[in-house]
Amino acid sequence: MKNYPLQRFSVAPMLDWTDRHCRYFHRLLSEHALLYTEMVTTGAILYGKGDFLQFSQPEHPVALQLGGSNPADLAKCAQLAAERGYDEINLNVGCPSDRVQNGMFGACLMAEPELVAECMAAMREVVDIPVTVKTRIGIDEQDSYEFLTRFITLVSEKGGVDQFTIHARKAWLSGLSPKENREIPELIYERAYQVKKDFPHLTIAVNGGVKTLEECETHLKHLDGVMVGREAYQNPYLLAEVDQRLFGADKPIIKRRQVVQKMLPYIEDEMAKGASLGHITRHMLGLFQAMPGARQWRRHISENAHKSGAGIEVVEAALAKIPAELDV
């Protein structure tokens, strides 16, 4: 199997979705996909209550996405993450929400390439793992190709960054909700393709609107990597063929039932540590999407996982809703 870059295929960082339980579940489907944490702010890591860097060894390769714009704080968080064993640190320069802008991070940082470069250089100085950027193609009226390439040039040359994931839509910093910013601005994949042509020495991956492995294969003819977001969450079995089709792995494709069976010991172990059944199983609801019994699977888990005393028998009963004759 070829030695592909980590970014060849990844599951996007998604707030409230790609937590550690989700990543463990996704890892059962794909050995090679790069998995991202939810975006975590530097303030949460440095001053918040709780362990915002928690993950388990089976999640590797796993990347931490940071939100922030203070070079010293980012460097400290990157150092902590590297010590914990993360495979990559990624800076969020793409989220357009008001809350993120008020904290001076996310997509608004595209207008501050010098600051982003300073942040990236500070992190690179203290860690040996890759330090990368996830960005948009532009913001508001600043959406020319020249604006994007100026950002790429400054951040790569002054910040020492050689890996970028480009969400191929611009972001409107006001007037659109985060959800609308994922759907309304036009997707322009050609911008990412052109960046790779003009910066062949950089590793460039694309994100935005990708829903099938066929689309992934098309993008990989032009780019080094592709990142899938909501489709990988809502239809997680998409990940089951990633290793074979995108990484050249020679192994059987895991069955859905096998994935469920492999999740059961994890669920029991996590519940013994105090985790809620529903917080784990919510990530599994889409596993049987478009299959006979899928609605019954989702319904049984949704209605029972949050009940007092609920355990793995809820998942086993939900699995029994899938017709036994189906080899899935």
Domain boundaries, the chain: 6-247, 256-319
Question: Can you read off the two tokens belonging to residue 242?
Answer: 């990633």
Residues listed for the chain: 328
Euclidean distance between CA atoms 36 and 38, whole angstroms: 7
Residue 271 carries which side chain, given as an amino acid letter? Answer: M
Tokens 């993450």 locate to 81
Residue 87: pLDDT band with limits 50, 70, 90: very high
* Shared fold status for 6-247 and 256-319: no
pLDDT cut 70: percent of the chain above it: 98
Residue 26 contacts residue 55 (beta carbons within 8 Å)? no
Q: Is pLDDT at 99 greater than 70 in this prediction? A: no
End-to-end CA distance of the chain: give it in Å, rounded: 27
DSSP state of 139: B
pLDDT at 276: 96
| Mean pLDDT, the chain, integer | 95
What is the tens place of the pLDDT at every residue in 272-298? Answer: 999 999 999 999 999 999 999 999 999
Tokens 């999640």: give the residue. 59
What digits encode the pLDDT tens for the residues 291-304? Answer: 999 999 999 999 99
For 173-214, how does the pLDDT look when each residue is reduced to its tens digit (9 = 90+)? 888 888 888 888 999 999 999 999 999 999 999 999 999 999
Residue pLDDT, tens place only, 105-161? 889 999 999 999 999 999 999 999 999 999 999 999 999 999 999 999 999 999 999
Angle, helices 20-29/256-272, rounded to nearest 10 degrees: 150
Q: Are 59 and 23 in contact (CB under 8 A)?
A: yes
Residue 97 has a pLDDT of 75
* Catalytic residue (one of 22, 95, 108, 119): 95
- Assign domain 256-319 one CATH number from 1.20.120.1460, 1.10.1500.10, 3.40.50.300, 3.10.20.90: 1.20.120.1460
- Domain 6-247 coded CATH 3.20.20.70: yes
Q: What pLDDT shows up at residue 305?
A: 98
Could you tell me if 22 and 11 are in contact, meaning their C-beta atoms sit under 8 angstroms apart?
no
Catalytic annotation present for 22: no
What pLDDT digit, counting tens, does each position of 235-264 carry?
Answer: 999 999 999 999 999 999 999 999 999 999
Looking at this protein, which amino acid is placed at residue 84?
Answer: R
Q: What is the pLDDT of residues 23-32, one digit of tens each?
A: 999 999 999 9
pLDDT number for residue 166: 98
Q: From CA 131, how far away is CA 138, in angstroms rounded?
A: 21
Reply yes or no on whether the pLDDT at 1 is more than 60. no
